[in-house]
Structure 1
Amino acid sequence: MSNPLLRGTAALACLSITAPAGAQDINAPGYLGTLVLTAGKRDLSYGTALARTVVGEEEIKDRQASTVAQLIDSVPGVTLVNGTTPQGSGINIRGFGANTTYGTDQKIAVQIDGASVGSEELYRIGTQLFTDPLLYRQVEVLRGTIGSFAYGSGIVGGVVKLETKDASDFTGGVPGFGGSQTLEYSSNGDGWASSTNLAWMPAERVEFLLNYTLRDQGDLTAGDGTKIGNSSFRTPSWLAKGKLTFGEDNAQSLSLSYSETVADDKDVPYDQFETTGGSFGRVDRRTDTSQAVLEYRYDPASDLIDLRANLSYADQQIDVDYIDGSSPLQGGQSKEDFCADPFLGVICGDNRYETTKLTVSNRALFSTGTVQHDMLAGVEVIRKKRLDAPSSPGGEDRRLAAFVVDEMTIGQFTVTPALRYEHSRIESSVPLAGVPGRYDNDALMGGLALAYDLGNGLSVFGSAAYTEGLPIIDDLGAGATAQRRIGMPEKSQTLEIGAEYTGEDVFAAGDSLTLRGNFYQTKLWDITSYTVAGSMGVDLDRVKSEGFELEASYGTLGGFYADLAGHVGGADEYNPDGTSATWRNSPADRVQLTLGKRWGDDLDLSWEVVHAVERRDALGADLPDSTLHNLRATWRPAAGWLDGTAVRFGVENVLDDAYVGHLSSPTRQAPGRTFKLSVTKTF
């Protein structure tokens, strides 16, 4: 393997907790001087080897998305699988994550304020990220493995980090009251949402925030005028958050947040990926996802100490009541006998996953001779518990991990090694006939990032990363396949190389341009999470994927801006007999261009074009190329009682095209033309 050059910081940058553009916390662990430029709508990071994209609060509001997954499918390499409802949608990054069978394959990580969320391998339920977009101030997407070592093992696709809002966002950081009220309406499905934020800072060091959001959507209509079944939902969400700053020089802080989203669906298909009951029948389903986070920070006036302790609890509970006689698989059985079947009982079973995690980390800045170090080190303790289900036993997965990332700078060179060690112990909650009830695994993984600053705004970067996916609770079982999988971690390697440029006065006085392109290649072997197509229990031999990602942002003093995001690539899956096929979960080739114009802070108009080729549905059938047009406008009147008001209007799928989304069920068409309107009043 060659030693590619690499700009910026690479692995450690992925560990940063990034504030919105223009307000980044330079004292946050992992902050390495990354410059965030906002010439267009999308924030681009310059000075990091990490493939990182941030969807900020303004873009969250402008897109008026009904799910978080709909927000980030505009990021290069990200695919939204069956994404019209919170319960059914899933996130796929570079071909890993959600797929056409499960909501997740454990190869991407999702965190809310540091809490690890998302279900395990729930059959035909895409509950990887079940929450409402209006609870968050930003969503950060880290693509690939090099940025994953602070978040877990086996992360191949990347990490999705969500940051909830703070009271100081509304009070300006000074004592007093503040808040906002947002009302949204969507013509397709008569969808509407109401989101209320109430913020209070009784003193400079104390702040409280309360958010309540209610979102409702009826069945959507496709471009050809047909109704999209199983696309309606109603989800109340709420967030409570408080923070106390104390101690000498305000060096200590303690924050607590709790958020929850609930859906209570009656007489809906068990299979969330499909539009009708089909073979699996219909159910009453209640989905309840909540997370609580307690964080302590100690940041005295010392380069060697910036300590954080993050204790989180995430709970996802899905209660299902099968509707008797709705599945043709039931045959002449009674409901009780049908639900007791070891294979078909998955349709009737409740699911619950509880994850408790403690992460303690410290950032230290120091020098050894001519080498400047920016080191982040930490330990992590995780306890994940799964409820027993008719189709498989429950149990506990206990993990202990330690990680260290050291950015070493020598002149124009930056070398960043990163290591993570993780040990897991899985125990079944019920006896397993003839096999052990406890399984221990461990792994040492890591990466190396190299960088070189060529000057004049140009830099090159590259990285090599290796990770192992330790077995999960869902691998428990007495069968030969389960025993093989629970004893063999999956392994992967990712190589990346790229370049970036940022400059001002490029084409005209006062303009700014940022370009970033990177090539990646990923190999996955010792596979335990994907089977050979059409087989029962025969795992793939390996998967190889590669692609090129491009992001660009340009802006002028006159207010014109352009954002570009694209991905092109290919991937193959290899069977044990030597045959191969196109990797079933690989992303489509896609380019997205946004052209816009701002008139100060008062008016923002933009036109977005998304063109995708090499598309396939969930069954692997080829889909035609698609080109979508979206229009958006934001108006902020600044006179009289309208001061503090923002009116947003959008038209999605302007030409009312009828199409099926990439990797979606062939029966689930995408929504047709949709008019969206929202009004936000900040007080």
Structure 2
Amino acid sequence: MTPTRKRALLLGTTSLLFITIHTATLHAQEADQGFLGTLVLGESKRKVQTDTAVAQTTVDQDEIDDRQAGTVAQLIDSVPGVSLVNGSTPQGSGINIRGFGANSTYGTDHKVAVQIDGADVGAEELYRIGTQLFTDPFLYKNVSVIRGTVGSFEYGSGIVGGVVRLETKDASDLTGGELGYVLGQTLEFSSNGDGLTSSSVLAWQPSQDMEFMLNYTWRDQDNQKDGDGDDIGNSAFTLPSGLLKAKYTFGENRDQSLTFSLTNTTSSERDAPYDSFTTTTDSFGNVDRDITSRAATLTYNFNPEDNNLIDLDVQLSYADQQIDQTYISGSSSLEGTSQAASLLALTNADHRYQTTKLSFKNTSLFDTDAISHELRSGLELIRKERLDANSAPGGVDDRVALYVVDDMQIGNAWTITPALRYETSEITGSTAPNNGVYNNEALMGGLSLRYAFDNGFAVFGSGAYTESLPIVDDLNNATYMTMSEKAKTFEIGASYDGNDLFRSGDSFAIKANLYRTKLYDVTSYTTGVGRPAPALEGVDTEGLELEASYAMESGLYLDLNANITDGTQIAPGGVETDWKFTAADSLRFTVGKKFGEELDLSWEMVANASIDINGTETTGFGVHNLRATYIPQQGVLKDTQIRVGLENLFDRDYTPHQSTRAAPGRNLKLTLSRTF
């Protein structure tokens, strides 16, 4: 599809949305006249975030449980704008948002930020080792995805794709605030790859002021098979993960708290392909690889009941990712050639990334005349340390960041949110010849506007500018160490949220977001032609993201997520071609029925359109998933949850765009959970 036709489709779809919402609103107003009662509304699987101009989606605990995901990436692949590089395994997979983030060469381009309880996790650019987000879905109670730049200034600089924020479970989530302890055990089985997962949890609340949580999850999977019944090489893994969390509440009116959380995940691969994106051994040969990934946070909160100007969080966080590799002699065809030295430098490289952050964040609520403010301001002191490796320079990146975000509410209609972030960086290389010292700074910010009508309809728009300061990985390029990548993003959209739209007791929400991003002064991407290949001059992306949900009082519900996107990359000389990491247009549609609190049945269709990137075409696909959740409310099975999922119902053989491996074929999953 040509860019002109693509833009026409985007604008036409948005116009159709406006007309549909306006017509539906008129019908709702007519039906609502004279109604004074209280409604009990149905619920769909996911709430559409219609109350904000930010493109944000949250996957809560119920949906996490329902999806039976084997990786964190699989938790958010249903979010519009999010696409996965592989995804069914922790190794060789990655998260891509709006065309940025992971790709089949590097696990990250530092334009998508990932946080666990506020700790910045993940590595810099690692050649063919994937995203390295090694952790387990069972540790978390919600995952929030912010797409684009405008909502990112509290979380980092240079964020063009978005932010993934994971929040670990609390003991009180299981105890319900009651004193005592709760034991929980979950067993999950999957037919494709003979997967087995055990998750054990202990939640203990000895007093109203103290709570403790301990979780240990062990996940194991053999090589899976694709829809044709062929083995998907390099898809087996064993992943033990743990969570320790404690919270102490104290002070006058219990207005202070101290929370500690620690997550730890390990992975070991033996005689596995160095290139974690591949299915079989290639010219890089095989390695023994051990990975340890941990994140720890200590958070102090002070929120006095009688002072709306103070809601202070002081957090010390530490994230550590260690990757030890040993090359398996004789596994590469490059041994004995002129490239042997480079091969060994790459495959025998050990990597370690340690990020320590001390942050101060305060939220103030106050009014100035007719304007109500929610002012969030913060200071961050960040130290990133990268181990000097055979294949990449090491060093220290010390940063100081200040930010302020003010949600200004004018009556019930206008919300105006200006945001600013100022960040400085000092990078010091550890080993000659890459042992220079480089200082950089950037001021960035954005503005979003939202106007809400009285009938549930709202329109919004935003503009944002961000800079990606140099990273330690660029120490071997003196030019890159003195320049930053820059990006501008503009968004416009509309939403509707209302009840009694088609019949009494129903609820309907829809949100459409149209964006355009321009990335320039590029240092992260090259043309891929020549040695060394020159950097691109720019990348332009645009897209439409659509989220909708409908639920009836009877329990019937529908969810829809869609993404239409396009991208262009500009090579030196102004030559334009397709952006090589453009995602395929996608649609995800779910129909389900809830029978009270006990039973939830749903059918999900996932479809990707065919896409042609510079003459290379990826075939589209459509797959179907069935899910059933049974939660008895009484009797001997009370406090038990039984889930059955059948993924890729018709055993379709396909490879998603950007993935390097075929997707798994039919997979039957059974999950049994019990609390005591």
Q: Do the structures match in fold with TM over 0.5?
A: yes
Shift of 1:453: 1.4
Question: Is structure 2 residue 149 aligned with structure 1 residue 149?
Answer: no
Q: Report the 3-state secondary structure (helix = DSSP H, G, I; strand = E; otherwise coil) of the residue aligned with 1:196.
A: strand
Question: Does the Cα contact within 8 Å between 1:288 and 1:318 map onto a contact in 2?
Answer: yes
Distance in 1 (CA, whole Å) between partners of 2:63 and 2:349 is 39
Other-structure match for 1:581 = 577
Question: Does the Cα contact within 8 Å between 1:154 and 1:468 map onto a contact in 2?
Answer: yes
Letter in 1 for 2:454: G
Other-structure match for 2:598 = 602
Counterpart of 2:486 (choices 488, 491, 494) is: 491
Distance in 2 (CA, whole Å) between partners of 1:502 and 1:315 is 42
Question: Does the Cα contact within 8 Å between 2:100 and 2:161 map onto a contact in 1?
Answer: yes
Distance in 1 (CA, whole Å) between partners of 2:503 and 2:627 is 26
Q: How does 1:321-470 map to 2 (within 5 A)?
A: 321-331=326-336, 338=340, 341=341, 345-411=345-411, 412-432=413-433, 437-470=436-469
Distance in 2 (CA, whole Å) between partners of 1:293 and 1:223 is 42
Distance in 2 (CA, whole Å) between partners of 1:315 and 1:589 is 36
Other-structure match for 2:320 = 315
Question: Does the Cα contact within 8 Å between 1:343 and 1:391 map onto a contact in 2?
Answer: no
Distance in 2 (CA, whole Å) between partners of 1:379 and 1:655 is 52
Q: How does 1:193-592 map to 2 (within 5 A)?
A: 193-301=197-305, 302-331=307-336, 338=340, 341=341, 345-411=345-411, 412-432=413-433, 437-477=436-476, 482-535=477-530, 536-592=532-588
Other-structure match for 2:36 = none
Other-structure match for 1:654 = 649
Q: Deviations over 1:336-368 (max 9, x none)?
A: x94xx3565111101100000111011111222
Distance in 2 (CA, whole Å) between partners of 1:615 and 1:590 is 11
Question: Does the Cα contact within 8 Å between 1:407 and 1:417 map onto a contact in 2?
Answer: yes
Question: Does the Cα contact within 8 Å between 1:39 and 1:513 map onto a contact in 2?
Answer: no
Other-structure match for 1:100 = 104
Letter in 2 for 1:201: Q
Distance in 2 (CA, whole Å) between partners of 1:188 and 1:416 is 48
Distance in 1 (CA, whole Å) between partners of 2:42 and 2:201 is 26
Distance in 2 (CA, whole Å) between partners of 1:459 and 1:537 is 46
Letter in 1 for 2:362: N
Shift of 1:537: 3.5
Other-structure match for 1:31 = none
Q: Summarize the Cα distance change of 1:625–1:342 in structure 2 as closer, same or farther, 3 Å threshold.
A: closer
Counterpart of 2:65 (choices 57, 61, 65) is: 61
Q: Report the 3-state secondary structure (helix = DSSP H, G, I; strand = E; otherwise coil) of the residue aligned with 2:642.
A: strand
Q: Summarize the Cα distance change of 1:332–1:409 in structure 2 as closer, same or farther, 3 Å threshold.
A: closer
Distance in 2 (CA, whole Å) between partners of 1:164 and 1:566 is 28
Other-structure match for 2:4 = none
Question: Does the Cα contact within 8 Å between 1:68 and 1:132 map onto a contact in 2?
Answer: yes
* Structure 1 residues without counterparts, runs of 5 or longer: 1-36
Shift of 1:38: 7.8
* Structure 2 residues without counterparts, runs of 5 or longer: 1-40
Q: Report the 3-state secondary structure (helix = DSSP H, G, I; strand = E; otherwise coil) of the residue aligned with 2:329.
A: coil
Distance in 2 (CA, whole Å) between partners of 1:61 and 1:634 is 9
Letter in 2 for 1:432: P
Which stretches of structure 1, 4 residues or longer, exceed 6 Å deviation after superposition?
Answer: none
Q: Deviations over 1:181-212 (max 9, x none)?
A: 11000000000100011000000000000000
Letter in 2 for 1:101: T
* TM-score (norm: length of structure 1): 0.91
Q: Deviations over 1:124-178 (max 9, x none)?
A: 0113421101100011111000011011110000000000000001111121111
Other-structure match for 1:635 = 630
Question: Is structure 2 residue 82 aligned with structure 1 residue 78?
Answer: yes
Percent of pairs with identical residues: 55
Shift of 1:71: 1.3
Question: Does the Cα contact within 8 Å between 1:170 and 1:178 map onto a contact in 2?
Answer: yes
Shift of 1:641: 2.1
* 229-238 vs 449-458, which moves further: 449-458
Other-structure match for 2:674 = 681
Shift of 1:450: 1.0
Q: Report the 3-state secondary structure (helix = DSSP H, G, I; strand = E; otherwise coil) of the residue aligned with 2:393.
A: coil
Q: Report the 3-state secondary structure (helix = DSSP H, G, I; strand = E; otherwise coil) of the residue aligned with 1:46.
A: coil
Other-structure match for 2:131 = 127
Distance in 1 (CA, whole Å) between partners of 2:611 and 2:278 is 19
Superposition CA RMSD, Å: 1.5
Distance in 2 (CA, whole Å) between partners of 1:38 and 1:152 is 37
Q: Summarize the Cα distance change of 1:40–1:496 in structure 2 as closer, same or farther, 3 Å threshold.
A: same
Shift of 1:369: 2.2
Q: Report the 3-state secondary structure (helix = DSSP H, G, I; strand = E; otherwise coil) of the residue aligned with 2:425.
A: strand
Question: Does the Cα contact within 8 Å between 2:651 and 2:665 map onto a contact in 1?
Answer: yes
Q: How many pairs align?
A: 633
Distance in 1 (CA, whole Å) between partners of 2:473 and 2:43 is 45
Counterpart of 1:163 (choices 163, 167, 170) is: 167
Q: Report the 3-state secondary structure (helix = DSSP H, G, I; strand = E; otherwise coil) of the residue aligned with 2:278.
A: coil
Shift of 1:235: 0.6
Letter in 2 for 1:187: S
Distance in 2 (CA, whole Å) between partners of 1:376 and 1:393 is 37
Question: Does the Cα contact within 8 Å between 1:98 and 1:128 map onto a contact in 2?
Answer: no
Question: Does the Cα contact within 8 Å between 2:42 and 2:552 map onto a contact in 1?
Answer: no
Other-structure match for 1:191 = 195
Distance in 2 (CA, whole Å) between partners of 1:223 and 1:640 is 41
Q: Report the 3-state secondary structure (helix = DSSP H, G, I; strand = E; otherwise coil) of the residue aligned with 2:665.
A: coil
Distance in 1 (CA, whole Å) between partners of 2:183 and 2:450 is 43
Letter in 2 for 1:262: T
Other-structure match for 1:27 = none
Distance in 1 (CA, whole Å) between partners of 2:324 and 2:344 is 16
Shift of 1:84: 2.4
Distance in 1 (CA, whole Å) between partners of 2:371 and 2:631 is 49
Shift of 1:544: 0.4
Distance in 2 (CA, whole Å) between partners of 1:250 and 1:158 is 35
Letter in 1 for 2:296: A
Letter in 2 for 1:596: G
Question: Does the Cα contact within 8 Å between 1:104 and 1:128 map onto a contact in 2?
Answer: no
Shift of 1:330: 1.9
Question: Does the Cα contact within 8 Å between 1:38 and 1:44 map onto a contact in 2?
Answer: no
Distance in 1 (CA, whole Å) between partners of 2:408 and 2:628 is 45
Shift of 1:332: 5.7
Shift of 1:620: 7.2
Q: Summarize the Cα distance change of 1:342–1:388 in structure 2 as closer, same or farther, 3 Å threshold.
A: farther
Counterpart of 1:669 (choices 634, 650, 662) is: 662
Q: Summarize the Cα distance change of 1:343–1:265 in structure 2 as closer, same or farther, 3 Å threshold.
A: closer
Distance in 2 (CA, whole Å) between partners of 1:382 and 1:38 is 45
Question: Does the Cα contact within 8 Å between 2:351 and 2:386 map onto a contact in 1?
Answer: yes
Shift of 1:583: 0.6
Other-structure match for 1:5 = none
Other-structure match for 1:174 = 178
Q: Summarize the Cα distance change of 1:117–1:239 in structure 2 as closer, same or farther, 3 Å threshold.
A: same
Distance in 1 (CA, whole Å) between partners of 2:296 and 2:103 is 28
Shift of 1:328: 1.3
Letter in 2 for 1:594: T
Distance in 2 (CA, whole Å) between partners of 1:189 and 1:616 is 32
Question: Does the Cα contact within 8 Å between 2:42 and 2:506 map onto a contact in 1?
Answer: no
